[in-house]
Structure 1
Amino acid sequence: MSILDAGQFVPVATGGLGHPGSTLAHSMVWFRDALYLGASAPAARGPEDLGRIHRLDPATGAWDEVFAAPVQALDEDAQARAVWLGGGGILRQRQPAEAMGRAFGICAMTVFQGASDAAHCLYAGTMSLWGGQVLRSEDGISFAPVMAPGNGDDSVMSIRGLTAFGGRLFALPSGTITAEGLDRERAPQAIVLVSDDPAGGVWTEACLPGFGDPANRGVVSLCAAQGHLYAGTSSPARGFQLWRTKAEGAAPYVWERVLTDGAFRYTHNLSTAAMAEFGGDLFIGTRIPGFGYDADSDVGPAACEMIRQRPDGRWDLIFGEPRFTPDGLKVPLSAMGPGLGDPYNSAIWSMAVQDGALYIGTQSWEPNDIAMNGGGAPLRGGFQLWASTDGEAWVPVLVDGNGSVTSTGVRALLASPVGLFLGTVNHSRLLQTQALLHGGGADLAEVSAGFDVWLA
């Protein structure tokens, strides 16, 4: 077992593949011997800012755009919804175009064979003004929706977390968008959806709302591990909870709570983020939305932690804050504090296991802090990629956005037969605006927008 070296990473896509508004390499999957990349334009302004699916031929290095969301006119309600996508302050006052993409993001992808699928199909979850949906493709070229917008509630902004388990496909409604406002994190109901035949378009609630606890404002991550399906929640009142089920019998299934109160760090572990099975254990990365501070709930700032959940219910703190808990004293086994010792690492956004090593990608808000509060100082920072061969000793692989200060997060990691793919989120436009408002920004004048993809 060995860990990849920084010098092995080469760019295979830059600048959003020609679409500056595509700032987010949101999801990746390996299908039919090719990489499929779901791209999002979270600050969509007009008909060019679409949800797109790109395919990379690893033999030639050539990209094809296999899906672009259809463009449709904005009625009065959609126009009001679209205004919220730009963010806050000055950006929010910019009016969108008269038409926009039916989806402005592809936030989840997986490969699954349902009851009526002749073979494994590619499924994708979308972000939309008109309600997120699930798309299906048999050949990786033609895509069609297999879910009503928002599964019947068009205020549900996106469908993410697509995970196959026990012959069923599970999905997470996420975010709420209406004419009155936008919450990118929390859906109208904190639920998990399930279907054994997505092609048929029938989806069922796999759990009670919030798993029966109103403190759970969202279900935000899923992972199949240890013979269970695990679900992580978001709770600005108590901190995340971790639940699991064997998904036996009919939905809603019997779920068991295995962690609560943010692993007893409470709201400083407001939400789970990425999860992955490694060495027979479940690794859970945490986060606080935004720049490590949830303004709506006045929680934070705080950096992320990593928790290791064992099959028998025991858990370890890998990096984070030492503390006394009902399960005894927990000290970080890596001897590293929150954020891997960096207070700007607010989230573990992605995980992947490649050749016996676990890789994790962070979200860092250091460039944003300098842009807003640095008085024109040169920006620094960016995402970090870390790796471990035993889950306890961690080494940095890439730092400072791998040379791009506007690449603030690793939004997608994918282990594949040809190597490890890494997809970024690029905040160049936001950072330019922040820096110009606070006396800087000259160093960003020539920075290109759009996501990047790296391969090692």
Structure 2
Amino acid sequence: MGTDKNLAFDSLFSRFRKISPVNGLDASDPDNAMQNNYAWSITEMCGYIYVGTARNIPYSIFANQIFGDIPIPEELTPNDVVMRGEIWRYKKDGSRGWERVYRTPENLVNLGFRFMITYTTPAGETAIYAGALTLSPELFMVKSTDGVNWKILDTGIQGFSTRYMVEHKGKLYMGALPLTGLGNSQLYSSFDPERDGWQIVNLNGQPDKNPSGNIDLLLSYNNHLYVGTGRPTGFEIWRTLGDEPITDNWKLVVDKGAGDARNEHPWSLAVFKDYIYVGTAIEAAVLSLNPDQRIVPPKGFDVIRIDRRDNWELVVGGIPVVPTQPTTGTRGLPLSGIPSGFGNISNAYCWQIQAQGDELYLGTFSWSVLIPYFLPLLPDILRELLSINSKSYQDALLNYWKYLTQVDQLFEYLPIEKILDRLADFLLKIGRKTLGFDLWKSRDGINWEPVSLNGLGNPHNYGVRMLFLAKDCDLYLGTANPFDGLEVWVKPWKSFHQPCC
């Protein structure tokens, strides 16, 4: 796992440099900049890097009382809330600074652009397609061929957002998602989204021969289309048996959360040295897809890898919180010897995985930095959570406490009335160790060393929301920062001599 020498971020060691002088990108309006919380999506076109922002994500979660009637800390509250997603761009050679090239119209509540991709149609037209998360049930998408002029497309898709688009065999594929919770599996394809629209891929065949659950991830690899789905019984990975997706012609590669049902979402993936790496997550750290138990105790993410023969193995992960018996393989000990979340329960997401040459990078979402701001409210927060569904959540909390006792036997003897106080102390101690996201790297996918354990030197950076490998193999990193606004960093490739990919 490396040593402690990199606990404090060292830019010379990491080779990452910051290219966003102003957090949130908007130098003219600090309040608007702060609302550009996340670099939610990144793509490139014609010498520019484009960043789609997410707006006021934690504020929106608490304002909509998803966790109940919990006060919103002042540090997360803008002066003038504006829910209009933005797109910014930056000249890759540094000759032009950041400029906003698009802002959502005023009549649409848009939390931001969750995914962007640059795609060339069979007719030869290259454009950026940016999919947003809105509060209206028709998927909102904009398109630009020059990066300056943007056109709203009529998708005709009943979905609130997309997390992923991918090109496969010359066609663009996209998954559509519900606003929250579990929805129908919605996979769409198009050769030209503006002129041909989107066609739904029929997944309504035999249950054991077609993907089901929320379409979280897509991958084109080894002449197959891979689909990662979020499910309350644990995430699944499917692939086409042939080149194209055909009803009843899919293979289940990973099921039941790779041995832990609490691994509900597959939220990151990358191909590295002939393996597919997949990282897991629990939405907002505690939100379950299970309609009967929407709030669950947190756990750290797991990482698995899949070989070309569809065999999977655990890379990062500990004792399952909710053990399952997958039909596709057996959960063994982690190859890395590292427990879930790299040993940190606040690492709720493996949010991004991306290879650059012979190095594999992994970035997390860590809620530890929120502890100092919510700790005074923690007993009230947990009692509010308990009141949402008292019996199920208390049972889950007790089961989670049993899970923790496997690590620290002290917790086994705590009466339930002291759990809240002990939990507050427990979380605070963890949070004090390292605030901000983790960024790790590996040369073999098994042995890992930390690049930064404190958000690249800014503890308010609580997530690596994007890792984007440009065509010239520069690696761009976009952060999630609800306090100051997002940051963008780059690790150049030109100083290296080995092949890029």
Tell me the TM-score normalized by structure 2: 0.71
C-alpha distance in 1, partners of 2:450/2:92? Answer: 27
Select which of 149, 156, 160 maps to 1:157.
160
Question: What is aligned with 2:235?
Answer: 240
| CA shift in 2, pair 1:316/1:249, >3 Å | closer
Work out whether residues 303 and 316 of structure 2, in 8 Å CA contact, stay in contact via their aligned partners in 1. Answer: yes
Aligned twin of 1:283: 277
Question: How far is the alpha carbon of 1:418 from its aligned partner?
Answer: 6.4
C-alpha contact 1:268 1:300 (8 A) present in aligned 2: no
Measure, in 2, the Cα distance between the counterparts of 1:239 and 1:23.
Answer: 29
Deviation at 1:414, TM superposition (A): 1.1
SS of the residue corresponding to residue 318 of structure 1 reads strand
Aligned to 2:345: 343
Higher strand fraction (1 or 2): 1
Question: Which residue in 2 is equivalent to 1:79?
Answer: none
Q: Does the aligned pair in 2 maintain the 1:352–1:415 contact within 8 Å?
A: yes
Name the SS for the 1:62 alignment partner: coil
Residues 302 and 320 (structure 1), Cα distance of their counterparts in 2 relative to 1, 3 Å cut: same
| Cα root mean square deviation, aligned | 2.9
Q: Which has the higher contact order (CA 8 A, sep 6+)?
A: 2
Q: 1:274 aligns with which of 242, 246, 268?
A: 268
1:175 is matched with which residue: 178, 182, 186?
178
Cα displacement (A) at 1:341 = 1.7
CA contact (8 A) 1:58 1:418 kept: no
Aligned equivalent of 1:444: none
Matched, 1:119 2:125: yes
Q: Is the 8 A contact 1:322 1:332 kept in 2?
A: no
5+ residue gaps, structure 2, are: 1-9, 27-32, 61-77, 379-427, 492-501
Q: 1:325 to 1:212 in 2, by over 3 A?
A: closer
- Are 1:25 and 2:55 an aligned pair? no
Equivalent residues of 1:146, 1:200 under 8 A apart: no
**What are the within-5 Å matches in structure 2 for residues 17-166 of structure 1?**
17-18=25-26, 19-41=33-55, 42=57, 43=59, 48-59=82-93, 60-72=95-107, 101=108, 103-116=110-123, 118-130=124-136, 131-148=138-155, 151-153=156-158, 156-166=159-169
2:216 maps to 1:220: yes
Indicate the SS of the match to 1:403.
Answer: coil
- Residues 302-343 of structure 1 show CA distances to partners (whole Å, capped at 9, x for unaligned) of 110110011101111111026786634611111101011222
Runs (5+) with no aligned partner, structure 1: 73-100, 177-182, 429-448
Shift of 1:252: 4.7
| Helix, strand or coil at the partner of 2:370 | helix
CA offsets per residue over residues 246-285 of structure 1, 9 Å max, x none?
A: 66467557221111100122x2211111111111111000
- Bigger Cα displacement from structure 2, 18-27 vs 138-147: 138-147
Q: Over alpha carbons, which structure has the higher Rg? A: 2
C-alpha displacement at 1:147, in angstroms? 3.5
The 1:200/1:309 distance shift into structure 2, 3 A limit, reads same
Give the superposition deviation at 1:356. Answer: 1.8
Q: Percent identity?
A: 26
Q: Distance in 2 between matches of 1:68 and 1:235?
A: 33
Query: What displacement does 1:15 show?
Result: 2.0
Distance 1:113 1:203 in 2: 15
Note if contact 2:314-2:331 (Cα within 8 Å) is conserved in structure 1.
no
Gap change, CA 1:395 and 1:249, over 3 Å in 2? closer
Letter in 1 for 2:191: D
Match of 1:364 among 363, 366, 373: 366
Give the alignment partner of residue 16 of structure 1, picking from 18, 21, 24. 24
Equivalent of residue 411 in structure 1, options 465, 471, 478: 465
Which of 179, 184, 189 in structure 2 is aligned with 1:189?
Answer: 184
Corresponding residue for residue 482 of structure 2: 427
The size of the alignment, in residue pairs, is 391
